[in-house]
Amino acid sequence: MKGRLKEIRALALSFALLASPAAAQFPVDQQLRPLIPNLIALHSPPANVDFQINSKNYPPAAFPARYLSTVQAFKVFSNAATPWTVQMEVRLRPGKGGSVLPLKQLHFRVNGGPWLDVTGTPQVVMSAIGPTQGWAALNLEFALDLLGNEAVGDAGFDLSFTALALP
């Protein structure tokens, strides 16, 4: 009887261990953990900014004349809980003969807002605090004012964009 009692106790203990949450787990060889980085990303359009200046619209009826670019559709994503910015910097690109178009003749606007002057230093074109909830639209348009005294050639501007997640 004592032997049978030991068997019953051992069997009861086995069932108790099997019923516990720890026993319900299976052996683990590896863990699968998605490590999502804290980041900000900027997708830019594939084409260059073009003002479509051609023999059909130049010279204009009167100077100064404003030529508009097509909308440049960027997309911004951030999952950072901290402040972040997208900055644009515009630099002169001299033409083959060394001619330049002054920065003061170039303007931009963000998402259909007011026209702003290009300064030649980094300018914030978008900023927020916290995640974007998916991809956020950043639509930039440029306007070039021609005065009628510009040199013939291929002078232009170089654009650089920087997306920064701030501490």
The C-alpha atoms of residue 107 and residue 40 are separated, in whole angstroms, by 26
SS3 10: helix
Contact 146, 65 (CB under 8 A): yes
Q: Please state the domain extents for the chain.
A: 40-165
Residues 103-112 have a mean pLDDT of: 96
Contact 79, 36 (CB under 8 A): yes
Contact 145, 107 (CB under 8 A): yes
Give the pLDDT confidence score for residue 10 in this predicted structure: 45
User: What end-to-end distance do the CA atoms of the chain give, in Å?
Assistant: 73
- Per-residue pLDDT tens digits for 45-68: 988 888 889 999 999 999 999 999
Average pLDDT, the chain: 85
The amino acid sitting at 108 is: F
Give the pLDDT confidence score for residue 21 in this predicted structure: 55
Give the pLDDT confidence score for residue 125 in this predicted structure: 97
More confident residue, 38 or 125: 125
With a cut of 60, say whether residue 5 has pLDDT above it: no
Tokens 């100064």 correspond to: 64
Residues 143-164 have a mean pLDDT of: 92
With a cut of 70, say whether residue 79 has pLDDT above it: yes
Give the pLDDT confidence score for residue 152 in this predicted structure: 83
The amino acid sitting at 12 is: A
With a cut of 80, say whether residue 7 has pLDDT above it: no
Give the pLDDT confidence score for residue 17 in this predicted structure: 46
The DSSP secondary-structure symbol of 101 reads -
The C-alpha atoms of residue 90 and residue 96 are separated, in whole angstroms, by 19
CATH class of the 40-165 domain in this structure: mainly beta
Residues 2-11 have a mean pLDDT of: 49
